Structure 1
Amino acid sequence: METVSFTQMKDGTKEEYLFLNKHEEAFAKGLPDRILHALKQLENTLSGYQVSRLEHSLQSATRAEADGADDELVVAALVHDLGDDLAPHNHAQFAAAILRPYVRPEVTWIINQHGLFQNVYYAHHLDGDPNERDYLKDHPWYQSCVDFCEKWDQASFDPDYPTKPLSHFEPLVRRIFTRPAFDPKYVGNQTMGKSAVDIAMSGQENA
């Protein structure tokens, strides 16, 4: 079989979906390469700062690593602005969606909320509410997101900071993004939004 025969998904057979699943699995193995490529593209995006968006991302990850953050937080710091090109108005949610199948829920939550939490530094200059994040103060990961933004994100626009290159973080990217998707060992029992392909690739039978 080179291609499936159906033109509507509802007409597909089990044999065809098993065939497609093999293609999905093979494609997913290339995710680290695509993430590394996307990070490199940040070198030429969002002008006006003293550093490129790639340099900001690398500096955030370098600071996280220097502070003794675990691998999941370091890679999260590296990819937290990966959505700037394709999702400029919800880049945080874009990055969180990429991370979600591979890291613990706390890390996904931090990245999902970091855009909102960053507002505290500048929203008042743009007639916005810098304290909008306050409605989340009782959330158990509120302080973790505050720390992420204060120590690593908002501080990483310094052209003189000794930032490590992308090659330094490449092994980490490959290690995290080749984990089995939605493996409970890493993500707990997250199941919402998983497709049958996600389930098959994670080795789980029930969503």
Structure 2
Amino acid sequence: MTKPVGIILAGGLATRMGGGDKGLLPLGGGTLLSQVIDRLAPQVEALALNANGDPTRFENLGLPVLPDSIDGYVGPLAGVLSGLDWAASRGATQVISAAADTPFFPRDLAERLTQAATDAQSPIALAATNDPERGPMRQPTFGLWDVALRQDLRNALQGGLRKVVQWTDKHGAAMAIFDPAPFDPFFNVNTPEDLARAQNLLETAT
């Protein structure tokens, strides 16, 4: 079976980091974004970046840069839609999404999401971590999305929908549940303190 294609979601405004591109912040010997690329690229057939503004700032990555097709920075679903449209142009049937500010997500993300969607016979699967007190906590920027849903998503966004889970629940999204130990693999960098923590975690990340 052909692997899904991947989309890295980097279309946000990064207001808590003072604006700009969080993904280009230094981490380890590279950047946040290079860590994400290193994890996602082996899991997918092809990879693109969802980002708005001048695409030339990412030209050294050698990836297609896909802007939101819905104006106004309406959230991660706009990036998912751009990924679905790109996948359709390639003849792909599924997209795996990952956030550009989350450098430690699982290396078996795509495999586990695909299995969850298959088992549930669902067109969408979202990653989740298992909280011992609150139960599964969904990570809605990490998902598998069926390309057949792209017009439905476009219509929903144009109609004002913004919350990811509001749309995914409508389609009976499955969940792939990941262990949060020794630390949450979906820990994301929102502040300078988070970036410092990510640097410390690099030595223990797997």
Give me the TM-score of the superposition, normalised by structure 2: 0.27
Structure (1/2) with the larger helix percentage:
1
Larger of the two Rg values belongs to structure: 1
Structure (1/2) with the larger strand percentage:
2
